[in-house]
Structures are given as C-alpha cells and as structure tokens.
Amino acid sequence: MLKCSIDALNGVFAKIAADATLYLPTDKDGSTVYAEWSEGVELSNALNTAKSPKDFFFPQVEDLMKFKVEGKSISVDDIRSESEDFVVFGVRACDVRSFDILDRVFLVEPYDSYYASRREHGVIISMACSKPAETCFCRTFGIDCTNPGGDIAVWKTEDSVYWNANTEKGEKLLSKLGLEECSDDAVNAQKEKTEKIMSKLPLAGLTTDGFGGGKTLDLFNRPEWKSLSESCLGCGTCTFVCPTCQCYDVKDFNTGNAIIRYRCWDSCMYSDFTKMAHGNNRNSQVERFRQRFMHKLVYYPENNEGIFGCVGCGRCLAKCPISMNIVKVMKTIGGNAE
C-alpha cells in the first residue's frame, strides 16, 4: 500500500497528466461530470458522476468510417486512429464492474476495434466508496464498494489518499508517482466503517433471487410488466445514464463531400429500436420496457456465466422522469416480491 497526503494529491495528478490525459470527476454547474484534469480542476467530493464513465470506451457518438461516392463508384476510407493513452481517476466499484460487462460484449469475437483500442490505452484508477447513497445496491450484484477493481485502487480519507495496484498496468503507473509506503490500517478502518453503512442502506436486502439465466419463460409472461411499464415515457434516460447499456445504432451522415458512417447509443426503450420496413416485433411500450430489464436480469446472465447486466449504481433510480427503475422491477417480480 502506498500513500500521499490530500494536499499532495494535485501534485500526483500533475505527474499522471505529464504522460497521459487524466480525467476525473469534478463539479460543474451543480452536477458532477468527468473532465480533463489541469491545474485548478478539483476532484469532486460527490459519490458519483451523473453520467457513467462508459463514454471513455464507448462514446455516445463516434465516427466509424468514411465513404466517398462518385457516380456509381464507392470507396471506403478507414478513418480509425489508435487511442491516446489516458487515465481515468475516481471510478467507483460499480462502474469498474460495468467495464467488465461491456468487455463481454465488445471484446468477444469479432472484437470491436474502436472499443479495444481505448480499452488498451486506458488506465482505470478506482476509488473506494465511504459514503454510499440510499440509491446504491451494488452489493446485490456481489460488488464490494470498499474494495474496487481497476488497474489501481484508491482510498481517500480525511487527510490522505491510499493507492494499491491491481494490475501490471497499474503497477507501472504507480511506480512513477513517487508515493510513500504505508500500512493498510487506515484503509481497513475505513472499509469497516463503510461496511456497517452498507448494511444500513434501504436497498441492502435486495437480492437477485428469481432472476438469472434460464428464467426467460417464467418471467417474460408475468402480468406485472403491464403495471410496471404503465407510465413509462419511452424516453432513453435510464439507458443513457446506465453504465452497462451498450445497444447502439449505426447511421450515415452526408457532410456534402463525404458520407460518414457513425454509431451512437441507442435505447431499446425507443419506439423505432426494432422497427423494420415491414413491421416491428416490439410494438408496445410494455414489450420494450420488459426487454430492457429481461436483458439485464435474465438474458445477459444466461450468456455470461451468471453475471448480471446491472451494477447497482443507482443512476436510473435518481434520473428516471417517472421514478420507475430496476429495483421496483426486482421487487415486483422475482424473489423479492412481497
């Protein structure tokens, strides 16, 4: 375990930023966002960012390729560039797990080269939670917020910041930062304190009982989907703030002298998500709503050794315009039903 004092943190950031672009959560206009660090950009004290850090690897919009069209002829222009080295500081344990969930989509054959490039060049410095919110339920998915993953894990106390490398990549970066060796007593004390709070959280008792692979037909036909989705607006807020939602659309944009094929986040909540020229296999909002939760709680784990497609970050709980969310779904159907 290594450490630096809180006062020295900016100096450490400067050292990291000397070799790679450093991003961290900072407060802007009343909300918390990831921003590029430079002298004067302060690390936020907030629990987490409003939007998840998935943009770092899977940005909301990205250009894929370019086409030149002349008469009947077409040429394809590979415009991909290799990602630059970057470091993301302050990623919470839930969001670190989300990268694993995204990896299981983008880094299985055939690999997504855009994602792979960013993933290889990115170093994740996670930060343990010490003050979870009422909307947190990471434990439901077996995530330990006091012991986050990533390349380097960080614990922040009143006066110090503790660092521990989890991977070779992290080791390499950490060795350059000139931090002092220390015992892990302070970290253990913080962990113990946080553990106690975790069991007091209102959603502490939420379990995944009744969900998981093999439950498709049991859950799909449950009548409760109707009332759960009754007032769903069909907007994409839950999807777009979610760290694990990874559905995308591919579209073409004519710039006037070339055609850019780009991709952008999409949402299974949108009415045109599955719409084809000759019909739509999910015509109603109840079907679209069900798809999002079935995917996270049944289909994804079925294809990924039981790992759920939710990390319990609580963003959808905070942001859904009608306050309908995965917790309410889990409590209405499945093993948590009262």
Partner 1 sequence: MNTRKEPLIPTVGVITDVRLDTPDIKTFRVVTPDGKKAFDHMPGQCAMLSIPGVGEAMFSITSSPTNTEYMEFSIKKCGCVTEWLHQAEVGQNITIRGPYGKPFPVDTEFAGKNLLFIAGGVALAPLRSVINYVRHYKDRYGKIDIVYGARSKEDLLQYREIIEEWSVDEGVTVHLTIDREQEGWDGHVGFVPNYVKELGFDTDKTVILCGPPIMIKFTLAGLTELGFVKDQVYTTLELKMKCAIGKCGRCNVGSKYVCKDGPVFRLDELDELPNEY
Partner 2 sequence: MQKITRDVLVEKAVSLLENGSVSCVLGWKKGEFDYDITPAVFESKEELVSDFIFDDFCGANFSKYLVQKTRKVEGKILVFLKPCDTYSFNQLLTEHRFDREKVYAVGIPCEGMVDIGKIKAITGDGISSIVCGDTIKVNTIYDESFDINAKDVLLERCINCKSKKHVAYDELIGEEGEVIESNRFDEVARLEAMTPDERFAFWQNELSKCIRCNACRDVCPACTCEKCVFNNPKSGVENKAPANEFEEKMFHIIRAFHVAGRCTDCGECSRVCPQNIPLHLLNRKFIKDIDSFYGEYQAGAEVGSRAPLVNYTTEDIEPCDVFERGND
Residues near partner 1 (CB under 8 A): 64-65, 67, 69, 72-76, 78, 80-83, 105-106, 110-114, 116-117, 213, 216-217, 220-221, 246-252, 254, 259, 261, 263, 266, 268, 273-278, 281-282, 287, 291, 294-295, 298-299, 302-303
First to last CA, the chain: 45
- Cβ 173 vs Cβ 16: under 8 Å: yes
Of positions 203, 219, 311, 313, contacts partner 2 by CB under 8 A: 203
Asked whether position 283 contacts partner 2 by CB under 8 A, the answer is no
Asked whether position 56 contacts partner 2 by CB under 8 A, the answer is no
DSSP string, 71-120: TTEEEEE----PPPPEEEEEE-HHHHHHHHHHHHHHTSSSP-HHHHHHHH
Rg of the chain, C-alpha, whole Å: 22
Site string for partner 2, 13-52 (x = CB under 8 A): ----------------xxx---------------x--xx-
Applying CB under 8 A, the span of 17-25, 140-148, 231-239, 302-310 interacting with partner 2 comes to 231-239
- Cβ 115 vs Cβ 102: under 8 Å: yes
**Which of partner 2, partner 1, none interacts with 200 (beta carbon under 5 to 8 A by kind)?**
partner 2
Q: What is the layout of strands, in order, in the sheet containing 259-265?
A: 73-77, 61-70, 259-265, 248-254
DSSP 218: H
- Looking at residues 67 to 96 of the shown chain, list those that interact with partner 2 (rule: CB under 8 A): none
- Measured from the CB of residue 272, what is the shortest distance to partner 2 in angstroms? 6
Of positions 95, 112, 151, 266, contacts partner 2 by CB under 8 A: 266
* Dist. CA 37–CA 163, nearest whole Å: 19
Of positions 246, 267, 291, 336, contacts partner 2 by CB under 8 A: 267
**Which of partner 1, partner 2, none interacts with 282 (beta carbon under 5 to 8 A by kind)?**
partner 1
The residue among 62, 57, 30 whose CA lies nearest residue 46 is 30
- Measured from the CB of residue 247, what is the shortest distance to partner 1 in angstroms? 3
- Measured from the CB of residue 113, what is the shortest distance to partner 1 in angstroms? 4
- C-alpha neighbours within 13 Å on the C-beta side of residue 305: 3
Question: Phi/psi of residue 257, each to 5°?
Answer: -120, 0
Task: State which residue, 81 or 199, has the beta carbon closest to partner 1.
Answer: 81
- C-alpha neighbours within 13 Å on the C-beta side of residue 94: 24
Residues at the interface with partner 2 (CB under 8 A): 29-31, 47, 50-51, 60-61, 131-135, 197, 200-203, 227, 230-231, 233-237, 239-241, 249, 251, 253, 262, 264-267, 270-272, 317, 319, 321-324, 327-328, 331
